[in-house]
Structure 1
Amino acid sequence: MDKGDYVIHIVDDEEAVRKSLAFLLTMSGFTVRQHESALAFLGIAPNIRNGCLVTDLRMPDLDGIELLRRLRQLPNHVPTIVITGHGDVPLAVEAMKAGAVDFIEKPFQDEVLIAAIERAIAALAKVAVQEDATAIRSRAATLSEREREVFAAVVAGLPNKTIAFDLDISPRTVEVHRANVMAKMEAKSLPELVRMALEAGLDSR
């Protein structure tokens, strides 16, 4: 997990809090973006990929609970960690029910927030891998029986002549099937095709 691949979005109406959190997370190796309100964040939320949200619950324009509810309506997943004061624990529990992945009580140690963010982006990475594998399997399902045979042979490392002999077809026909496999699987190279087979759990033979 590379921290630099993820952007941590901070939503808080208090500038001092935003800057303090941003400094902490930047020094910890994260890329950080600050937002002064929930509405400002919602404006860019649909375009977020590989992002995690850290937000306060009590904000003047739109509170954290409503923010979470609106985020759940988006097609992209933005894991959210809420920061709450001691008296707001029931509200934080409500936030968890609304979709937050974790909540942290003030005051908190730096390590607690960092660990929560790392758990959130680790889960996000796992979801991304699962979605990628599902997409790969869907593309593999479009292959004909002969194309699947060639696919398995290619990712097993067999040369065209050997594949042609094993399948009792001409090397030229193998080339045609191989090109079709590359196109249908949307693979730009043999190493990428092999990676797809591994990630999707497709048998090589």
Structure 2
Amino acid sequence: MPPATPIVFVVDDDISVRESLELLIRHEGWEPEIFASAQEFLARPRVPAPSCAVLDVSLPDLNGLDLQKRITSDRADMPIIFITGYGDVPMTVMAMKAGAIEFLTKPFDDEALLNAIRHAIERSRNALRRESEIGALKDCYAVLTPREREVLALVVSGLSNKEVGSKLGISEITVKAHRGRVMQKMQADSLPNLVKIAVRLRIAPSPRA
């Protein structure tokens, strides 16, 4: 399956800005989707493609900063770029602290916006890849039996097979058998790899530096 074309969502109530950004975005080979209000944008279902949002701070219904909170909560893989006609320092600081990629004041340089979009799309692509990887690991974990999950949790906590057996009231040989099936089902080729998987699934705490 070919990679999905990145989508750039533009939310701005100024039709001239929407039209000019649509042309600019399409010229770069991305797919523009244009909205005049926050509510119109929020009605758009999430898409499984690299994406970012270019938001005007001043919108007629829900302002850009409030929309940012909604996006960050519901669509964490979608980085945000702000554009505004009257940016001030507190507003910029608030947006950047909340995770915005860039905060540009109109009129802005096209290349500055394009660079911000490139960076945002790369971040989105990485976030989607991590999400896909975690989903695959969760699928593997879902096929473990309750006993195998117990063995997994104890093994990655650092206990030996003998100690795991003692904790669970089963023989060391049985622990080895369960452990082998856990490794196979979780597609882990070594104990360190299994520990990394458990950390990603939050079954085990991250090792301290």
CA contact (8 A) 1:49 1:76 kept: no
Q: CA deviation at 1:42?
A: 1.1
Q: TM-score, normalised by structure 1?
A: 0.62
1:91-170 aligned within 5 A: 91-141=91-141, 142=143
How far off its partner does 1:130 sit?
1.7
Would you say the 8 A contact 1:12–1:59 is kept in 2? yes
Cα deviation code 1:78-101 (max 9, x no counterpart):
211101235434312212233422
Structure whose residues are more often helix by fraction = 1
| Secondary structure at 1:90 match in 2 | helix
Aligned partner of 1:151 in structure 2 is none
Specify the SS of the correspondent of 1:83.
strand
> What are the within-5 Å matches in structure 2 for residues 17-28 of structure 1?
17-28=17-28
**Structure 2 CA distance for partners of 1:48 and 1:135, relative to 1, 3 Å:** closer
> Is 2:87–2:105's contact at 8 Å kept on the other side of the alignment?
no
Matched, 1:49 2:34: no
* More off after superposition, 130-139 vs 23-32: 130-139
**Which consecutive unaligned segments of at least 5 residues does structure 1 have?**
146-176, 186-192
Question: For 1:100-156, what per-residue CA distance to the aligned partner results, in whole angstroms no more than 9, with x for missing partners?
Answer: 2222222222111111111111011111222222233334444699xxxxxxxxxxx
Say if 1:84 and 1:106, in contact at 8 Å, map to a contact too.
Answer: yes
Is the Cα–Cα contact under 8 Å of residues 82 and 104 in structure 1 kept in the other structure? yes
Q: How does 1:168-183 map to 2 (within 5 A)?
A: none
How far apart are the structure 2 equivalents of 1:113 and 1:8?
A: 12
In structure 1, what is the Cα distance between the partners aligned to 2:85 and 2:76? Answer: 29
List runs of 5+ in structure 2 lacking aligned partners: 149-180, 195-209
**TM-score (norm: length of structure 2):** 0.61
Q: Which one-letter code corresponds to 1:49 in the other structure?
A: P
| More moved, 119-128 vs 102-111 | 102-111
Shift of 1:21: 0.8
C-alpha distance in 1 between matches for 2:93 and 2:73: 20
Name the count of aligned residue pairs.
152
2:164 corresponds to: none
